[in-house]
C-alpha cells in the first residue's frame, strides 16, 4: 500500500472499530492501480454523517445532506462519505436527494466510470465489481452500466468521460462513444461552472488531442460555450500541447488562439465560460500578443508576465516545445529595459511643470510619453538633467 493510504489507514481502522464498514474509493484507488501520483484520498463508509462527526474529533461539515464530512487527521484532510444511492434525477443533473445505504456495491454502482468505481479495503485488497481493473489494462473509458441511462441521470458524465480520456490517455469504448453522440444535447442542462472545471482538466491532460477529437466526432463540442459551428477549429486545437502550460490564463489564451477567436470576440467567448475576471484579463493580454514582434516599447507595454506567456505559447505552437534558453534570453532583455513603468522615469509630471513654467494641460502626459519612448529606445538617458536638456532641445525644433 502506498504511503498516502498508510497515512489514512487509521481512519478506516477507527470506523471499523465502531462496527462500520470503511473503504478507500474513487480516484485515489484508480491512480494507485495505474501507478500514477495519488491525489486526494476519499473514504466511503456506512457510518452516517452524524456518526462520522461523533467518531472523529476534528471534522468539517461540507455537505452533510449529501453525506460528505471532511475529517482532519495528522495535518491532512479526507473526504469521508456515507454510502449512498441517488434518488431520482431531475433535469439530467444532480439527484433530487440521496438515500444513505449499507451496501458498498450499491454505492460504487452510482459512480460514473468503471475505473472510478473501485474500492480498496484496509488490507490493500481491491474491490472491483464493475471491471475497473480490466478497463485500466485495456485503457478504456466506459460507464458503469448502460451509458445512455447514466448520461440521463447526470449529463456532465459525458464531458468527464472525455476529461479522463485526456488525463489518462485512454480510449473511449464504442458503446460509451455512441451514447455521447446520441445524448450530447443533455449537456445543455449542466451549469457552465461544472463544464468549465471538466474542460480545463481535459485541456491540461496529456491526451487533450484525443479528447478534442472525440468532442468533435461526437458533436459534444456543440454544447460547450461558444464552440458550436467551430468543429474545424476544435480539430485544429488538437495540435497544441496545452499540458505544457501551467497557468489557467495561459491555457485559455492558447485555446482562443488555436480556435481563431479574434480579439473582438475573445472577451465574450471567455465570459461565456464564466471564468474569473482576472483570468479573462490576463488571457486577453497574452492572446493578443502571441504573434507580437518584440521591441523595447512592446515589451514594456506588455509587462514581463504577458511577454513570457505569449512567447512560450508561440514557441509551443511553432515547435511543440518550450525553448527554455530562448525564454531566459527574453526575460533578460525585459529585465534590461531602462524603465519598467512610468514611475521608474527620473522625472514626474510635476517636474515637467517646474521645467516649463506653463499651466498644466494635456502637454504634460504627451511629454511624459515622448520621454518614455526616448528612454526605452535608448535615445535618452533616464536622468533628470539629461531629460531637461533633451526637452529644451526638442521644444526648439
Is 370 labeled as ligand-binding?
Answer: no
- Measuring CA to CA, which residue among 307, 212, 197 is closest to residue 248? 197
Give me the least distance between CB of 144 and ligand ATP, in Å please. Answer: 8
Residue 112 binds which one of ligand ATP, Mg ion, none, with CB within 5 to 8 A depending on kind? ligand ATP
Going from the C-alpha of 295 to that of each of 301, 331, 334, 376, 377, the distances in angstroms are: 10, 13, 9, 9, 9
Coil/strand/helix, residue 82: strand
**Cell numbers at 135, concatenated:** 478497463
Is 40 assigned a ligand-binding role in the annotation? yes
Residue 45 touches which of Mg ion, ligand ATP, none (CB < 5 to 8 A by kind)?
Answer: none
| Sign of the four-CA dihedral 301, 307, 313, 319 | positive
* Residue 30 vs 150, nearer CB to Mg ion: 30
Shortest gap between Cβ of 116 and ligand ATP (angstroms)? Answer: 3
Question: 127 pairs with which residues across the strands?
Answer: 119
- 233 annotated as a binding-site residue: no
Q: Tell me how far, at minimum, the Cβ of 117 lies from ligand ATP, in Å.
A: 6
Cβ of residue 108: shortest distance to Mg ion, in angstroms? 15
**Biggest alpha carbon distance in the chain?**
93
Q: Considering the complex, what minimum distance in angstroms separates the CB of residue 132 from ligand ATP?
A: 10
Cα separation of 358 and 352, whole Å? 9
d(CA 251, CA 242): 6
* 225: Cβ contacts below 8 Å, ≥ 6 apart: 192, 195, 196, 269, 272, 273
Q: What residues make contact with Mg ion under the rule CB under 5 A?
A: 27, 40
Would the annotation count 229 as a binding residue? no
How would you class 271 by CB atoms within 10 Å of its CB: exposed for 0-12, middle for 13-18, buried for 19 or more? Answer: middle
Please report how close the Cβ of residue 4 comes to ligand ATP at its closest, in angstroms.
Answer: 13
Q: Is 367 annotated as a binding residue?
A: no
Length of the chain: 397
Measured at CB, which residue is nearest to ligand ATP?
Answer: 27
Among Mg ion, ligand ATP, none, residue 157 binds (CB under 5-8 Å by kind): ligand ATP
Radius of gyration of the chain (CA): 28
Q: Is 326 annotated as a binding residue?
A: no
When the beta carbons of 40 and 169 are compared against Mg ion, the nearer one is 40
**CA-CA distance, 12 to 362, in Å (whole number)?**
72
107 is in an annotated binding site: no
Number of C-beta neighbours around residue 139 at 10 A: 13
Binds 84: which of ligand ATP, Mg ion, none (CB < 5-8 Å by kind): none
Which residue of the chain is nearest Mg ion when measured via CB? 27
Residue 156, binding choice from Mg ion, ligand ATP, none, Cβ under 5 to 8 Å by partner class: ligand ATP
150 assigned to a ligand binding site: no
Which of the listed partners (ligand ATP, Mg ion, none) does 198 bind, with a CB threshold of 5 to 8 Å by partner kind?
none
* C-alpha torsion 175→181→186→192, nearest 10: 110
Please check if 373 is assigned to a binding site.
no
Backbone angles phi, psi at 76, to 5 degrees: -115, 160
Q: Provide, rounded to whole angstroms, the least separation between the CB of residue 87 and Mg ion.
A: 23
Residues at the site binding ligand ATP, with contacts judged by CB under 6 A: 26-27, 39, 111-112, 116-117, 154, 156-157, 160
Compare residues 39 and 63 and give the one whose CB is closer to ligand ATP.
Answer: 39
What phi, psi does 330 have (nearest 5°)? Answer: -65, -45
Q: Closest approach of Cβ 213 to ligand ATP, in Å? A: 21
Alpha-carbon distance 181 to 27, whole Å? 26
Which residues define the annotated binding site?
Answer: 27, 30, 40, 42, 111, 154, 157, 160, 163
Q: Binding site residues for Mg(2+), as ranges?
A: 40, 42
Going by the annotation, the residues of the binding site for CTP are 27, 30, 111, 154, 157, 160, 163
Point out the annotated binding site for ATP.
27, 30, 111, 154, 157, 160, 163
Amino acid at each position: 500500500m502506498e504511503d498516502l493510504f498508510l497515512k489514512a489507514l487509521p481512519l478506516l481502522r477507527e470506523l471499523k472499530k465502531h462496527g462500520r464498514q470503511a473503504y478507500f474509493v474513487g480516484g485515489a484507488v484508480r491512480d494507485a492501480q495505474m501507478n500514477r501520483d495519488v491525489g486526494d484520498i476519499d473514504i466511503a463508509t456506512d457510518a452516517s454523517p452524524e456518526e462520522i462527526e461523533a467518531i472523529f474529533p476534528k471534522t468539517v461539515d461540507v455537505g452533510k445532506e449529501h453525506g460528505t464530512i471532511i475529517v482532519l487527521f495528522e495535518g491532512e484532510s479526507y473526504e469521508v462519505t456515507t454510502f449512498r444511492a441517488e434518488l431520482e434525477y431531475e433535469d439530467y443533473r444532480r439527484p433530487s436527494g440521496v438515500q444513505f445505504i449499507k451496501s458498498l456495491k450499491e454505492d460504487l454502482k452510482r459512480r460514473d466510470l468503471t475505473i472510478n468505481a473501485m474500492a480498496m479495503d484496509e488490507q490493500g485488497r481491491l474491490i472491483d465489481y464493475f471491471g475497473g481493473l480490466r478497463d485500466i489494462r485495456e485503457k478504456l473509458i466506459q460507464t458503469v452500466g448502460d451509458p445512455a441511462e447514466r448520461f440521463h441521470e447526470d449529463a456532465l458524465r459525458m464531458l468527464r468521460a472525455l476529461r479522463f480520456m485526456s488525463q489518462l490517455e485512454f480510449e473511449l469504448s464504442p458503446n460509451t462513444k455512441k451514447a455521447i453522440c446520441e445524448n450530447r444535447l443533455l449537456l445543455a442542462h449542466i451549469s457552465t461552472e461544472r463544464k468549465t472545471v471538466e474542460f480545463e482538466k481535459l485541456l491540461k491532460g496529456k491526451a487533450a488531442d484525443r479528447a478534442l477529437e472525440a468532442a468533435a466526432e461526437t458533436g459534444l463540442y456543440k454544447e460547450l460555450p461558444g464552440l458550436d459551428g467551430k468543429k474545424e477549429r476544435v480539430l485544429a486545437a488538437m495540435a497544441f500541447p496545452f499540458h505544457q502550460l501551467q497557468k489557467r490564463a495561459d491555457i485559455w489564451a492558447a485555446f482562443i488562439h488555436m480556435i481563431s477567436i479574434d480579439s473582438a470576440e475573445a472577451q465574450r467567448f471567455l465570459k461565456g465560460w464564466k471564468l474569473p475576471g482576472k483570468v479573462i484579463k490576463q488571457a486577453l493580454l497574452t492572446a493578443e500578443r502571441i504573434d507580437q514582434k518584440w521591441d523595447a516599447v512592446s515589451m514594456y507595454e506588455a509587462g514581463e508576465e504577458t511577454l513570457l506567456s505569449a512567447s512560450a505559447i508561440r514557441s509551443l505552437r511553432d515547435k511543440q516545445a518550450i525553448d527554455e534558453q530562448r525564454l531566459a534570453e527574453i526575460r533578460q532583455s525585459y529585465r534590461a529595459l531602462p524603465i519598467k513603468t512610468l514611475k521608474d522615469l527620473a522625472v514626474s509630471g510635476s517636474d515637467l511643470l517646474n521645467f516649463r513654467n506653463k499651466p498644466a494641460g494635456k502637454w504634460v502626459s504627451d511629454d511624459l510619453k515622448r520621454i518614455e519612448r526616448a528612454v526605452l529606445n535608448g535615445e535618452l538617458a533616464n536622468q533628470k538633467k539629461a531629460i531637461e536638456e533633451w526637452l529644451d532641445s526638442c521644444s526648439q525644433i
